[in-house]
Chains A and B, each alone.
Chain A
C-alpha cells in the first residue's frame, strides 16, 4: 500500500462533467432532428450528416497530424539532439574508421529511439484515456457543433456548401485557436454566417408544394417590416410545414429542449431569457410607434433562428462571459443587435451575426478591471439607462422607417 498526495479538495461534485453537459445538449436537440427529418425527409438527413461528418472528420484528421508531429518526440528530445549532432559530425568526418564508429553510434541511438517509442506506446495502451485525447467526439462537443450547424441550414443548400462551411468553421474557429475551450466564436454560428456570406443565393429554402410561397417568415419580415406575414402564429409555434432552415422552425420543440436543459442545469437560463426578452420588448416598443398589431412582436419572437439561437447557440459557455451580470449584458447585446439587423438590415440572419458580434465583446466584458460577479446600485442604474436609451433609439428609428415606407 502506498500513500499518495493530492491537493485539496479531495471531494469532487459527482455529476458535474463536460460530457454530461454536452450530452444533454444533444438530447435536447434530438426532437428538432426528428422534426427536421419528418418535415424534409432525406434532405435533412443528408444535410445533417454532411455537417456533422465534415466537422468531426476535419478535427480528427487535424489531430492525427498534430499528434504525429508532437507525440513522436515527446520525452526523447535528448536522443534526437544527439542524433542530429552525430549526423553533422559524420558529414564532416574524413577518415574511414572515424566514419564507421560514427555510423555505429548513430545506429545505436536510432535503436534507442525506436525502443523508447515502443515503450511509450505500451505505456499508453496501459493507461485509460480516450483514443485521441484532443479529438472531442468522446465528449460530444464536436457533435453538438455539427448538429447545431446542420439544423441552421436551409433545405435547398447544396451539400458541397454545407461541407465547405463545416470544414472552414472547424479549422478557422476551433482548431487554430487551440481546440476545445479556446474558440472565441461560436463554431456553428461562424459556419452558418460563412456560407451565407460566401454563397449567398445558394443557401436557400426550397419550393414547397403545400406552402403558398417559398419565402420564410423572416424573409417576408425583412422585405416588408410592418405588413403581416402569410403564416398563422400557431403554424410558427409548432413549426410543422413551415418553410425555413431544416431545424429552427419549431418554437415548441425548442422550448421543450430549453426546459430540459434548464431542469438539468446544463445551460445558463439567463442568456435565452434576457435575449428573447430584449427582442420582444424592442418589438413591442416598435409596435407602439407604428401601426402594427400584436402579431408583430409575436412574429419576431417565433420566427427565424431567434429561439433556436437563444437556446442552443448563445448559451455555448465557451463563447459567453463567465459572470452572471456579464452574461446578462451579453444577452442584452445579442437581443439589441439581432433586432437592429432584422429591422434595419438586409440579411435575415440577424441571430448568427448578433452572436458573432457579441462573441467579439466577450473578452471585453470579462476584462479583469471591470468585470464583476454582483450587481450593485450604480451598475443597475447605468444598465437600466442603457436599456431605456436603446429602446428610445429603436423607437425613433422604427418611426422614421415606417414613415419612409408609407410615404
Chain B
C-alpha cells in the first residue's frame, strides 16, 4: 500500500530552537493513506500551513523525515516531488489561454504535443473548462481560475498528492459549495491524495474523510468528522468544532455522578482521575435540552439565538454559562425552565484531555 509518512517531523523558523514554543510545528508521526481526502484544520498560526509547505517542499523541516511511498523526499526540491498545489489566491499565467495554462507543466517536462492535447482535453472536461479552453485565463472568474490551478496539477499523470491551501478564500459564497463538491467529485474519480488546509470547519468536515485538527503546532486529533463531533479527544477540538462549540463545566466526580455546584448529573459510567487534575464535563449544545416539564436542573435563560433551523439558548447553571438547544414547543420566556442532559453524550476531560470511562465494576 502506498502511503505518505511523516516521521518525527518538526519545524522551527528559528535557527536554534530551545523551548517548545519556538517550534511552529511540534513533533508529529503520521501515516496517511494514498487516495485519502485529508483536511488540516486549525486556527491561524496553528502550524497547518507550515506542515503543508513541508509536504510541498517549499520549507525544509528542521528535523524528521517525509516519505512518499517509502521514498525519502525530505531534501528533494518541489519540482521533484510528485505534488501539485492550489494556493489561497488563484495563480494563473496571465498572458496564456486556459489551454496553454493547463499544458504548461507538461510542456516544461518535454512531453510531446499530441499527448499534451489529449491530456489537457481530458482534464478540462473533468473540470468543466472545455468551453473556456481557448480564452485568455486572465479574464475568468476566481472560481474558474482556481480550477485552472487545480487542473495544472492534475494534468500531470504522476501526481501523488494535491495540496490545497485555503483554496476557497476568494470565492463567492454561493460558488464555494459548488467548487467544494467539484473537488469531492474529482477526488472520487481520480483517487489522488488530497490534503486540504483550512480554518473553516464546514469546509474541512464536508471535504475530508479524515480531519487533522491542529492547535499551537500540535496535532490534537485525527478522525472522521463524526468522531470529532461525537468524541473530541481534546478540549480544543470540542470547542473549535461545532457552532456553538462544546460546553465545558468544571465539576467534581463522585462515582458515576458529576457535581456542578449543588447539582448532580448522572454520567452512566465511572472515571478514574488524578486528584490534582482539572476535571471538566464537556457536552455539546445539541445534547442538552431546555425543558419546561419540571425535571432536570433549574437554570436562568440569558438569551435565545434563533438560527432558523433550531434555537440555541444561552443559560446560566450555578454561575457557569452554557449553550443548550431549545426544542420546538418550549417557551424560552418562562421562569421555571430546566435543562436535561443526555448521559451517553457527556464527556469527561482531565487537564483538557478526554478520559475513557472505566468498565462497570458493580457497586
**Is the pairing of A and B real?**
no
Residue ranges of B at the interface with A (Cβ–Cβ < 8 Å): none
Residue ranges of A at the interface with B (Cβ–Cβ < 8 Å): none
